């Protein structure tokens, strides 16, 4: 038997997956007209502020993307002219990835379209409600990580 708190948590698992799916669908709607997939957008966007090696992109992007998956995506972005590899002064074999001019222009266009989406959805839900949800999600993540950490010991 689960506790009432356990039942409450379990009741939001499927809606959380549905929300993730909705976010991915919205990202696809925004990225596809520019010729990108959401994953390509995510990897390219990670390099906007500074060139990064693939392993660092995988760590920053999170969401369980493996380094090999990020490497394949980076290679595609380079092949399509949205990104380029640079020599890495800190590591001979691990090249740095950075957006090209075309990649930066594409990201700027996508940012404008993402802002429109975020403004419309945010206004419909309300800033205070989103802040409350955000705080709750952060607490759940922290509690889960703490619990999983005790299981590894």
What pLDDT score does 92 carry? 80
Q: Is residue 109's pLDDT more than 90?
A: yes
Tokens of residue 82, six digits? 């949205």
Number of Cβ within 10 Å of residue 141's Cβ equals: 10
What pLDDT score does 152 carry? 64
3-class SS string, 47-87? CCCCCEEHHHHHHHHCCCCCHHHHHHHHHHHHHCCCEEEEE
Sequence-distant (6+) residues with CB within 8 A of 95 are: 53, 85, 86, 87, 88
Q: Give the Cα separation of 76 and 40 in Å (integer).
A: 8
What pLDDT score does 9 carry? 95
pLDDT tens, position by position, 135-149: 999 999 999 999 999
| Mean predicted confidence (pLDDT) in 129-133 | 98
Q: Give the Cα separation of 54 and 58 in Å (integer).
A: 6
What pLDDT score does 90 carry? 86
Q: In the structure, what pLDDT confidence band is assigned to residue 93 with cuts at 50, 70 and 90? A: confident
pLDDT tens, position by position, 26-63: 999 999 999 999 999 999 999 999 999 998 998 886 65
Q: Give the Cα separation of 145 and 153 in Å (integer).
A: 13
What pLDDT score does 151 carry? 75
Helical H runs in the chain? 4-11, 13-31, 38-46, 54-61, 67-79, 101-125, 127-152
- Residue 12 is classified by DSSP as T
């Amino acid at each position: 038997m689960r506790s009432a708190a356990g039942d409450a948590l379990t009741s939001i698992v499927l809606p959380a997956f549905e929300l993730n799916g909705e976010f991915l669908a919205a990202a696809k709607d925004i990225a596809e007209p520019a010729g990108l997939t959401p994953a390509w957008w995510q990897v390219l966007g990670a390099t906007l502020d500074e060139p990064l090696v693939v392993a660092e992109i995988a760590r920053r992007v999170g969401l369980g993307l493996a380094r090999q998956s990020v490497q394949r995506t980076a290679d595609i972005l380079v092949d399509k002219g949205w990104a380029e590899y640079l020599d890495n002064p800190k590591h001979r074999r691990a090249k740095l990835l950075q957006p090209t001019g075309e990649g930066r222009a594409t990201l700027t266009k996508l940012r404008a379209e993402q802002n429109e989406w975020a403004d419309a959805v945010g206004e419909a839900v309300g800033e205070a409600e989103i802040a409350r949800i955000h705080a709750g999600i952060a607490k759940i993540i922290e509690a889960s990580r703490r619990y999983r950490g005790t299981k590894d010991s």
